[in-house]
Amino acid sequence: MFELITDREVLSQKSKPAKVDEESLGILKQMHETILHYRNTESPIAALAANQIGYPYRIIVLCNGDEFVNMFNPEIAIADGSVEIWEGCGSIPSAVCLCERPRFTLVNYTDEKNSPMILPLNELGSHLACHEIDHLDGITILDRSKKTEYVESEKQKTDVLISRNGPLFAELKARQQAEANMSKDAGSLVK
């Protein structure tokens, strides 16, 4: 159930517009469960596009701690600034890529209650949204890459991302590790 699509041919297909209905809300639930599943692994993910789990619809989820931002049919309305950042992707497990991303984005989307939304995003949030919207357009980090390095494990990938991106990713990894430890501690209290 928690397998991410890694087939480049499938990932290169553009996603269809999504309706907020019973089917898409079920897909959204699967996306949340997938993000939570990967949170406690060597390869935690902070965002996900529906096509990464086999659904060709324009739906992405960004995760900030325990909160999900659910986006149906997201579009970047404004992109400003530019930064090069090393990125990894759960659907491309063996690579880290140097990609150019905007520092700031303004994203228009519809939420899970079918309400139109506008969300300003800076730095990491902007990078994550752009990465996931790229997935919806059939674009992967390999297509955006200015430089690609191949790794042998998820742990090596995480280490490379932290060393190349500095404090930004070290803070994210520390937060994810703390959340994983709290989950393990809570689980041991129940036993």
Per-residue pLDDT of 15-42, as tens digits, reads 999 999 999 999 999 999 999 998 877 7
pLDDT-above-90 percentage for the chain? 68
The backbone region for 65, taken as left when phi is positive above 0, alpha when psi lies in -120 to 50, beta otherwise, is left
Read off the pLDDT of each residue in 139-166 and give the average, rounded to a whole number.
Answer: 89
> Is residue 9 exposed (0-12), middle (13-18) or buried (19+ Cβ within 10 Å)?
exposed
Q: Exactly one of 87, 132, 149, 179 is catalytic; name it.
A: 132
Q: Is 132 a known active-site residue?
A: yes
> Is residue 39 exposed (0-12), middle (13-18) or buried (19+ Cβ within 10 Å)?
middle
Contact indicator for 130, 124 with CB cutoff of 8 Å: no
pLDDT of 190 > 90? The answer is: no
- In this structure, whether the domain defined by 8-190 belongs to CATH 3.90.45.10 is answered with yes
Reference 161, options 65, 101, 97; nearest CA is 97
Q: How many angstroms separate the Cα of 107 from the Cα of each of 55, 80, 87, 132?
A: 21, 12, 20, 12
Task: Kindly report the pTM of this predicted structure.
Answer: 0.86
Q: Which of 36-40, 46-50, 166-170 has the highest mean pLDDT?
A: 46-50
